[in-house]
């Protein structure tokens, strides 16, 4: 375990070196947050009665999304991509570590570090200046945080899967772009999931994407009551385990057919 | 039992081929052609504990493939391979715990982190005890003269500094066997000497077995008690450097400095390689023309200021050996 913790911490320290990027990212997120709450507010004003969410809930959902969007799985691990392109991946296999666990740890770090770096100031700004709601209750906060952690684990499983796909496609851009579209469409980051049409809801409930941010956000706001938290967590963990199993199987196959070129 | 045993090891690569140009690219979408490259055509050797073995061959001969199989990175198609009694790719994690690897063209250090943090990360990855780490760390820092660069991010290091750090990184967990794939590539003369001195000491004091691939024959001459030559996926020669010389050519070179550079220079069984001013380079085979007699005859016929006999340079030997490889 110590080894994986060390990998995690090294990765966080690496990412923390890029403070300017984080600051720019925060400014950008604030701008989009203002824009999106304005747009959704305008829609809401047209027909408040039919909305499945109240305006303050929607504003809160949007600001949570702006603050935490870096935890979404939108591409393979850039470091491993570079290693695969340059052949440095050979060194990864000379470590006495389970390669899947190694890469999964890298994915967790890749998502968690920038997310934490941005989330704290952004949530502060949103709560102070943009009317983001506090958690519905202490229990709702606990359920939201637990679900957020599971969402991170789920997201890391997705990233690791995208990373493993690089063993076949090298550049991996195609698969990553498709993944980005699916994540943007079905996670709730673009449009809160409760606002999707009724007939799509069963499918959304089944897909893994709602476990990324929608579940945690709605638990936090009490839009999903805290009693239903176990169901949300089970859905997240079930998908996480399934994606980990798939990733492990693919990685095993990928390594057997791997060719490390050159040198 | 030898530390490394390899028998009839084979590895094929399937390489997708594409015809050049736009039309080739389009055709490649529909129909892929594959070419089979036989990187290893059944090689075999064994290495005893504490040996320093040079593994040489032209580019594409299969050197790196062998090293990657021995390191547990690649799975061969056929043949047997055991290192420390383990099959590398089948028991990869246990296997790599006890070996160190350096690929000279790549770094195993974390690019954005200070050197010392990469070492600490490797300490945690290999689960090195704090006491053992301290000892190994101090030893490596002293021997490789790393003190001044420990806090520098790896991306700011020169190639020679980086290579010294990479060597240290491969030894943090005190392996008893290391594979070095072109460890002196791109280094300047001073850095090369530092690396060679370090490796020689490492072998002498800690008894670490070293398998080294290189294109630099000075590496071989300075370090290796044994040389294996691979070409076209087969082992062509395996033995001492002197044995290799004898196998390829028993010839010697005689260099004569004359008082007066002009004049013909003809002796039976001797070829004049070239002349540089007053210096004449001769080549002969001592089995046909005994050295002492030849020197006597030359001294009798010319005004000699100085002369000396040497082996053919190792580059020359290797070039001749490579030329024998069937293309």
Q: How far is A263 from chain B (nearest CA, A)?
A: 6
Q: How far is B89 from chain A (nearest CA, A)?
A: 9
Q: ipTM of this complex > 0.85?
A: no
- Is B101:B92 a contact under the CB 8 Å cutoff? no
Q: Are strands B209-213 and B177-181 parallel, antiparallel or unpaired?
A: parallel
Write down the domain spans for chain A: 2-257
Smallest CA–CA distance from A15 into chain B, residue: B112
Among B317, B301, B319, B305, which residue's Cα sits nearest to residue B255? Answer: B305
- B92 has a pLDDT exceeding 80: yes
pLDDT of residue B262: 66
Tell me the pTM: 0.81
Q: How far is B137 from chain A (nearest CA, A)?
A: 18
pLDDT of residue B208: 92
Band of residue A263 on the pLDDT scale cut at 50, 70, 90: very low
How much is the average pLDDT of A112-123?
A: 85
Residue B68: list chain A partners with CB under 8 A.
Answer: 90, 260
Which strand (E) or helix (H) includes residue B74?
none
Question: Does B96 contact A86 at a Cβ distance shorter than 8 Å?
Answer: no
Q: How far is A118 from chain B (nearest CA, A)?
A: 21
How far apart, in Å, are the Cα atoms of B68 and each of B175, B245, B276?
17, 28, 46
Lowest mean pLDDT among A75-79, A117-121, A256-260, B205-209: A256-260
Per-residue DSSP letter, B104: T
Lowest mean pLDDT among A132-141, A166-175, A220-229, B249-258: A166-175
Question: Does B125 contact A6 at a Cβ distance shorter than 8 Å?
Answer: yes
- Is B117:B110 a contact under the CB 8 Å cutoff? yes
Question: Cβ contacts of residue A29 below 8 Å, gap of 6+?
Answer: A66, A67, A69, A118, A122
Residue A259: list chain B partners with CB under 8 A.
Answer: 13, 74
Q: How far is A154 from chain B (nearest CA, A)?
A: 25
- Is B89:A258 a contact under the CB 8 Å cutoff? no
pLDDT of residue A261: 52
Residue A85: list chain B partners with CB under 8 A.
Answer: none
Closest partner residue to A263 (CB to CB) among B93, B94, B105 is B105
How far apart, in Å, are the Cα atoms of A1 and each of A149, A159, A190, A248, B126?
19, 21, 37, 18, 11
Closest partner residue to B106 (CB to CB) among A87, A96, A259 is A87
- A168 has a pLDDT exceeding 90: no
Closest partner residue to A90 (CB to CB) among B68, B110, B126 is B68
Q: Of all residues in chain B, what percent are helix, strand and coil, respectively (each to 5)? A: 40, 30, 30
Smallest CA–CA distance from A12 into chain B, residue: B113
Cα–Cα distance, A175 to A222 (Å, whole number): 35
Q: Which residue has the higher pLDDT, A256 or A150?
A: A150
- Is B104:B183 a contact under the CB 8 Å cutoff? yes
Please tell me which of A111-120, A135-144, B33-42 the model is most confident about, judged by mean pLDDT: A135-144
CA contacts within 13 A on the Cβ side of A52: 13
pLDDT of residue B325: 66
- Is A130:A34 a contact under the CB 8 Å cutoff? yes
- B209 has a pLDDT exceeding 90: yes
CA contacts within 13 A on the Cβ side of A170: 7
Q: How far is B241 from chain A (nearest CA, A)?
A: 24
Q: Is the dihedral of CA B106, B112, B114, B120 positive or negative?
A: negative
- Residues of chain A with a CB closer than 8 angstroms to some CB in chain B: 2-3, 5-7, 10, 13-14, 17, 86-88, 90-91, 93-98, 255-256, 258-260, 262-263
Closest partner residue to A94 (CB to CB) among B96, B105, B182 is B96
The residues facing B47 across adjacent strands are: B4
Question: Does B106 contact A260 at a Cβ distance shorter than 8 Å?
Answer: no
Band of residue B170 on the pLDDT scale cut at 50, 70, 90: very high
Residue B214: list chain A partners with CB under 8 A.
Answer: none
Residue A88: list chain B partners with CB under 8 A.
Answer: 106-108
Burial of residue A100 (CB within 10 Å: 0-12, 13-18, 19+) is: middle
In B241-303, which ranges are E strands? 252-258, 270-276, 279-284
């Amino acid at each position: 375990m110590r080894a994986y913790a060390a990998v995690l911490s090294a990765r966080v320290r690496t990412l923390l070196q890029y403070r300017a990027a984080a600051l720019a990212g925060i400014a950008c997120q604030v701008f989009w947050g203002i824009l999106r709450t304005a747009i959704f507010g305008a829609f809401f004003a047209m027909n408040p009665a039919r909305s499945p969410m109240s305006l303050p809930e929607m504003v809160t959902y949007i600001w949570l999304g702006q603050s935490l969007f870096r935890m979404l799985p939108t591409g393979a691990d850039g470091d491993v991509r570079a290693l695969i392109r340059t052949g440095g991946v050979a060194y990864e296999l000379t470590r006495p570590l389970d390669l899947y666990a190694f890469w999964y740890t890298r994915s967790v770090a890749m998502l968690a570090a920038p997310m934490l770096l941005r989330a704290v100031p952004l949530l502060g700004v949103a709560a102070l200046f943009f009317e983001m709601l506090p958690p519905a209750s202490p229990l709702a906060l606990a359920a939201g945080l637990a679900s957020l952690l599971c969402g991170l684990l789920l997201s890391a499983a997705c990233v690791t899967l995208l990373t493993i796909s690089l063993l076949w496609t090298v550049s991996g851009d195609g698969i990553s772009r498709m993944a980005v579209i699916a994540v943007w469409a079905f996670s709730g980051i673009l449009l809160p999931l409760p606002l999707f049409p009724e007939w799509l809801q069963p499918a959304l409930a089944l897909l893994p994407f709602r476990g990324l941010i929608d579940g945690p956000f709605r638990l936090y706001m009490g839009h999903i009551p805290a009693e239903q938290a176990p169901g949300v967590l089970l859905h997240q963990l079930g998908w996480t385990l399934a994606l980990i199993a798939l990733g492990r199987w693919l990685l095993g196959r990928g390594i057997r057919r791997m060719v490390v070129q050159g040198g | 039992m030898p530390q490394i045993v390899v028998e009839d090891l084979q590895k094929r690569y399937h390489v997708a081929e594409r015809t050049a140009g736009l039309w080739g690219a389009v055709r490649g979408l529909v129909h892929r052609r594959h070419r089979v490259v036989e990187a290893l055509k059944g090689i075999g050797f064994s290495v005893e504990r504490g040996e320093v073995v040079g593994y040489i061959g032209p580019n594409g001969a299969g050197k790196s493939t062998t090293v990657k199989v021995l390191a547990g990175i690649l799975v061969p198609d056929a043949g047997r391979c055991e290192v420390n009694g383990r099959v590398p790719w089948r028991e990869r994690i246990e296997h790599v715990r006890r070996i160190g690897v350096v690929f000279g063209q790549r770094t195993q250090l974390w690019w954005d982190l200070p050197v010392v943090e990469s070492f600490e990360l490797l300490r945690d990855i290999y689960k090195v005890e704090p006491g053992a780490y301290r000892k190994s760390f101090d030893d490596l820092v002293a021997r490789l003269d790393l003190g001044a660069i420990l806090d520098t991010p790896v991306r700011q290091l020169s190639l020679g500094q980086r290579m010294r750090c990479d060597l240290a990184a491969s030894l943090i967990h005190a392996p008893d066997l290391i594979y070095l794939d072109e460890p002196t590539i791109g280094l300047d003369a001073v850095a090369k000497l530092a690396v060679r001195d370090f490796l020689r000491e490492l072998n002498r004091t800690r008894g670490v077995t070293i398998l080294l691939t290189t294109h630099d024959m000075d590496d071989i001459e300075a370090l290796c008690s044994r040389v294996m030559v691979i070409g076209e996926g087969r082992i062509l020669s395996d033995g001492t450097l002197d044995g290799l010389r004898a196998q390829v050519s028993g010839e010697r070179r005689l260099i004569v400095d004359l008082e007066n550079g002009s004049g013909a220079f003809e002796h039976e069984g001797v070829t004049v390689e070239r002349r540089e001013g007053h210096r004449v380079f001769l080549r002969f085979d001592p089995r046909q023309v005994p050295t002492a007699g030849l020197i006597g005859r030359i001294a009798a016929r010319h005004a000699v200021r100085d002369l000396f006999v040497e082996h053919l340079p190792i580059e020359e030997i290797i070039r001749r050996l490579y030329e024998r490889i069937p293309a």
